[in-house]
Structures are given as structure tokens and as C-alpha cells.
Structure 1
Amino acid sequence: MDFIQKHIWGLWLIRPKLIFDERGYFMETYMKEEFERRVGTIDFVQESQSCSVCGVLRGMHYQQGEAAQAKLINVLEGTIQDVVVDLRKDSNSFGKYETVELSAENKLQFFIPRGFAHGFLVLSEWATINYKVDNVYCPDAERILYAGDKDVNILWDKRCELWKQSEKDRLGSSLREIEVQL
């Protein structure tokens, strides 16, 4: 596996090594020892999947306080624009975002430490996303940063200009509003 440190400290893009032959391919998607040597000790306790159609924008979600989650994201089918915003108050990159394209074709994985809002936009006809997290989901601790917040100014992919969002995502808070919540 290749581990690529992204511009914002703590974010990692992981490229699994693929072994191809006439039957197809094989890849290791997670190796605890190698992951911990590169990224640090993370105890993944839950794995989930979601499937969404083209234009769905989920996020920007984060868990607050003791319920915060680190995530390892990969796409099983389709293509997404995956985006995170740094909400760590002591970070030099507070309020900055990072974006990567994840797809079933490129097989990249994105590691997101605790302290980030996370969301994605589906760019293909549909996409299936897999998440490993180090803390179970806690509805009472969930918060949402509005994906269109002008202070963060995320450059969303233009292939899907009409977003399909849940009501709670459309009503997410601005970066200025969430500063007091963290």
C-alpha cells in the first residue's frame, strides 16, 4: 500500500497494491500493522455502507466531543467527490478543506482523523461508499456544516450542479456558527 500525506495534516490518501491476472484482481484493503505504522493506532469499531444516486450531496457531517469519529472511506461502485473540512480549533488549517475523487476504478481510500466535517457528491449514475469508523454513530452528537458555506467556499465538481440533499443537510450551520459548538 502507498500512503500519501495530504496537504492538511492528518489526512491520508491510501493506494492499495493491485495484483491482476486473467481471473481479475486481488488487493488488501486494510492491514492493521502497516496502517498503524504510517497513520497511527486506530481501532475501527464499525463498518457501514451507503448507496446514492447521481447528484446526491451527503454532508458535511461530523460527530462532536467524545463521539467524534475517524473514518476510512472507499468507493465500491461508482465515483464521488469526497470532501473534508478541518474543524480542529488548534489546527493551522482550521476551516480549510481538502477534496479527492474516489472511485471503484481508482480504488483509492481516504483516511480522515477526528475533527473533520465529511461529505461527498455522487458524480456517477450511482455510487456505493464503504466507511470504517473508530466510534459508533451517536445521533445526539451529530452536527452538520452547510456544504455551500461561503466562508469555506468548497469548489464542488460541476458535473452535478443540482444537488439532492436531505433537509437536515440543507439546514446545516455555517462555519461561523459551529465554532461555538465544538
Structure 2
Amino acid sequence: MSRTEPREQLTRTIQGALFHAAEAFSELVEAACSPTASKIVMQNVSDLPSLLGSAEEPMTGVLLTLRRDLGGFLLLLLPTGVADTLVARLLGPHGWDDALRTSTLGELGNVVGSAFLNYLADELEMTVLPSPPQVVEDMVGAVLSTVGAYLALHGQPEFPVIQTTFRARGLGFGAYLLWLPEALQQLGERH
């Protein structure tokens, strides 16, 4: 087996997980969603805040902290206006407060993230234990800096980032799913 084969297999598995997550997203928002512009890159902690362009863009993020074999983070990021549009689509245009909005966004991230993680765990024959979703709203640079600081504190100056953009037909928005595993190399070796 060549050195690139495990990585190619892992890349195919990740693509399958992204399509699985897109299906879950599609069911929730009742619009066909597909992953586009997917890539796997090694990212330096100091570069993380500008990963998605302008570090000052307001974003709503749903963060899952991952434990066990697939340790790391999974982060669903939505421009704040898109998050509001999705909440209105799911709950109706009126009659919801901030607590219900936060709960709805947390559940959206939980469902999409769990679809992605369950596919990976099944295919890789690994265990993953996600935390309850944490909804954060801030500039994208601040959200990503927080995750980067955690990784840096745990001795990871560079780490793999699996990044994709979801596009929903008829809704005209993109969402970002970032998977920051603690160790991509071990995943490739186990697959």
C-alpha cells in the first residue's frame, strides 16, 4: 500500500461524512444543500482567525467539543443574518425569543454535526463523544481564536482543518463546517 492510499481513503470517508451532514441540513431547512469547496489543510494556530476571510465578519457558531478516538472540535459557522433566516424558516417569522433562537441553532448544529460524526465513526470504526452544542455569536476571528487558543494550550501549534461550505439551493446562503481533529495522521493510519 502506498503512503498516499490511507490519506486518499480518509479523504473519501470525509467526503462521505460531508454529504451525510448535507443531507441532514437539507432535511432540517427543507432545501437541497450540498457541500462545496471542501478542503483539508494544515493550519497554524496564529492563522486560524482569518481562515474564512475577514476576521471581523459577524458569525453565529455552534461548537461541539469532541472526545475519545475522534477528539477535537466541530464547528458549524453561519453568518449571523443567515442564522436568523434559518431560525425564521424553522420556527416561523415571529414569536420566538433569544432563548428559543439559541436552542434552535444549537439543535441545528447538533443534528448536522452528529450526521457528520456518526458517519465518520462508523466508517473508521472509532468512538466519538460530542459535548452538548455551544452557540456563540461574535466576529469570526474571535470565535476561531478561542478554538485556536485551546489547541495551542494543548501543545498543537499546527493542526489539520477540514473545511467545507454548504450551499442551499433556493436560499442563497453558505454555511461553513470546520472539523479540527486532534490528530489527522492517526485517523489515516487506522482507516
Both structures adopt the same fold (TM-score exceeding 0.5): no
TM-score, normalised relative to structure 2? 0.28
| Structure holding more strand per residue | 1
More contact order relative to length (CA 8 Å, sep ≥ 6): 2
Structure (1 or 2) with the greater helix fraction: 2
Normalising to structure 1: TM-score of the pair?
A: 0.29
